[in-house]
Structure 1
Amino acid sequence: MKTFFKPSRRQLLTTALALALTLPCAVVAHDFKAGDIVIDHPYATPSLPGTRTGAVYFRGLRNTGRSADSLVSARTAAAGSVEIHRMVMDGEVMRMGALDKLALPAGSELPFRHGGQYHLMLLDLTSPLVVGDRFQLTLRFERGGEREVTVWVQQPRQAARDSGHQH
């Protein structure tokens, strides 16, 4: 006697619902690796009207290895040039400055979120950054080599928006 599994309508609906709920997570979450460097969810914020600059952030930028590495440059067809920027408090004033490279100590994670200490500045944008757009960005690491990532343009979370960091 052969027995075949015949799922009930309820089991099929439960499975379909579970898949529908997990699919958006798979679409939204995106991370990339360059050697021991993990680039988690690269994103840009919409550019302000009338400006030709933008900024790229990461949900996380981690060096999971036992050796230090450095982010030495970035490039994209979406902008004329890309600079690595650091924000620092100078008394009561927040100042932004370009870095030649950004050290990533072994086992470290850097604050690369909107409103945080670091970001990539996009200069001379070829077109405005609009929510929902995507573009390619190539990151070059001293030890990890080059890695192309997909950057999604999205609104920052409310907490980050309240930080006052605007471009």
Structure 2
Amino acid sequence: MKPLILAVAAAAAVATASQAAAPAIAVSDAWARPTPPGATTGAVYATLTNRQPIADALLSATSPEAAKVEFHSMTMTGGVMHMNAVTGPQKLQPGVALRFDPGAAHIMLVGLKAPLKLGGHVTVVLRFARAGVITVEAPVSNAAPDGMAGMKM
């Protein structure tokens, strides 16, 4: 009987360790467009999926490549595209993805210290209410990752 109890306990420990290793927030399809020389702003796109059984919130972001990072939304009014800073936490429900896409919500880098160059990368540090801090390395590219293929740019 003792070997059975030990086997069950070992299996439970492995299962718990596997669950702990999975990130609470999955980040996919992260990328940024290159910026022209002298540009002071740039945008980062990514998909954030909450893998937790409870809601979380994206509170803020920073980047060593920019003076500040903001979250923006895009809306169309009377045929004119408007960009608005989004204040307050960005809610992430369990199992739901928060998408930052071209022409829609995006992560705005304000006060770039240098242009974002094709083939380079940009670091964005995301801070969540429950998941803590997640660092994202977004490649600088002219094209969206495969997961975003077919998207109008």
Aligned mate of 2:112, from 120, 125, 129: 125
What's the Cα RMSD here? 2.2
SS of 1:111 mapped into structure 2: strand
User: Given that residues 37 and 62 in structure 1 are in contact (C-alpha distance below 8 angstroms), is that contact kept between their aligned partners in structure 2?
Assistant: yes
2:49 matches 1:83: no
User: Given that residues 32 and 122 in structure 2 are in contact (C-alpha distance below 8 angstroms), is that contact kept between their aligned partners in structure 1?
Assistant: no
**Mapped partners of 1:91, 1:114: distance in 2:** 20
**Mapped partners of 2:31, 2:22: distance in 1:** 17
Of the two structures, which has the highest relative contact order with CA contacts closer than 8 Å and spacing of 6 or more?
Answer: 2
Find runs of 4+ consecutive structure 1 residues off by over 3 angstroms: 157-160
**Mapped partners of 1:111, 1:137: distance in 2:** 15
Shift of 1:82: 0.4
Aligned mate of 1:63, from 38, 50, 71: 50
Shift of 1:109: 1.2
What code does the residue aligned with 2:128 have?
Answer: F
How is 1:89-128 mapped onto 2 (pairs within 5 angstroms)? 89-100=76-87, 101-115=89-103, 117-128=104-115
2:21 matches 1:47: no
SS of 2:100 mapped into structure 1: coil
**Mapped partners of 1:89, 1:128: distance in 2:** 28
Question: Identity rate of aligned residues, in percent?
Answer: 38
SS of 1:135 mapped into structure 2: strand
User: Given that residues 34 and 145 in structure 1 are in contact (C-alpha distance below 8 angstroms), is that contact kept between their aligned partners in structure 2?
Assistant: no
Larger Rg: 1
What code does the residue aligned with 1:47 have?
Answer: T
* Unpaired stretches in structure 2, ≥5 consecutive residues: 1-20
User: Given that residues 131 and 155 in structure 1 are in contact (C-alpha distance below 8 angstroms), is that contact kept between their aligned partners in structure 2?
Assistant: yes
Aligned mate of 2:123, from 136, 142, 149: 136
Deviations 1:98-137 (A, max 9, x none): 112211122211232223x211100110000011112322
For normalisation by structure 2, the TM-score amounts to 0.74
Count of equivalent residues? 128
Shift of 1:75: 0.6
* Unpaired stretches in structure 1, ≥5 consecutive residues: 1-32
For normalisation by structure 1, the TM-score amounts to 0.68
What code does the residue aligned with 2:59 have?
Answer: V
